[in-house]
Amino acid sequence: MEIKEAQNKIEEFDKARDWGGDWHLKDLALNITEEIGELWNLIKWVDEEKQRKIVSENKEQVKDFIGDTLFLLLKIANKTGVDSEKALKETLEEYEKRMPSEKIKEVKHANKLAGGIDNK
Ligand SMILES: [Mg+2]
């Protein structure tokens, strides 16, 4: 499914339930933090190796996180009149400019390009 198609499907989902006119942007934004909290609860306070193990053993929960969060993001796109496909395309174009692949391979970390604190 294309991103724009998914956004349209979510709009239809809301309209079918007469939710189209509701304006609960704050609640949707807070709901995303709840989803992030669910992922955080899986992997908090453990090192990278343990995180990888937890993720591989809890793929279903990770999949739910991705699905629920995308749903909420696309719902926000509908509420605010943003074309999610265009937004992602522009973000990727901006990241390509800010973090050119050859330069990133040289410095190993994007923050070094920006003169971040780990630019040693
Ligand atoms: Mg969830």
Q: Would you list the DSSP string of 48-113?
A: HHHHHHHHHHTHHHHHHHHHHHHHHHHHHHHHHT--HHHHHHHHHHHHHHHS-HHHHHHHSSHHHH
User: Cα dihedral angle (49, 42, 29, 71), rounded to 10 degrees?
Assistant: 90
- Residues near 83 by beta carbon (within 8 Å), at least 6 away in sequence: 4, 7, 77
- Residue 111: its pLDDT value, please? 73
Gap from CA of 113 to ligand 1 centroid (Å)? 35
pLDDT of the chain along its 120 residues, tens only?
999 999 999 999 999 999 877 778 999 999 999 999 999 999 999 999 999 999 999 999 999 999 999 999 999 999 999 999 999 999 999 999 888 888 888 887 777 666 655 544
Q: Structure pTM?
A: 0.84
* Burial class for 92, CB neighbours closer than 10 Å (0-12, 13-18, 19+): exposed
- Residue 105: its pLDDT value, please? 83
Gap from CA of 32 to ligand 1 centroid (Å)? 9
Gap from CA of 47 to ligand 1 centroid (Å)? 23
For residue 99, what are its two tokens? 């973090």
For residue 118, what are its two tokens? 């780990």
**All domains of the chain, ordered by start, with CATH?**
3-81 (1.10.287.1080), 83-120 (no CATH)
Gap from CA of 41 to ligand 1 centroid (Å)? 12
Gap from CA of 62 to ligand 1 centroid (Å)? 9
- Residue 113: its pLDDT value, please? 67
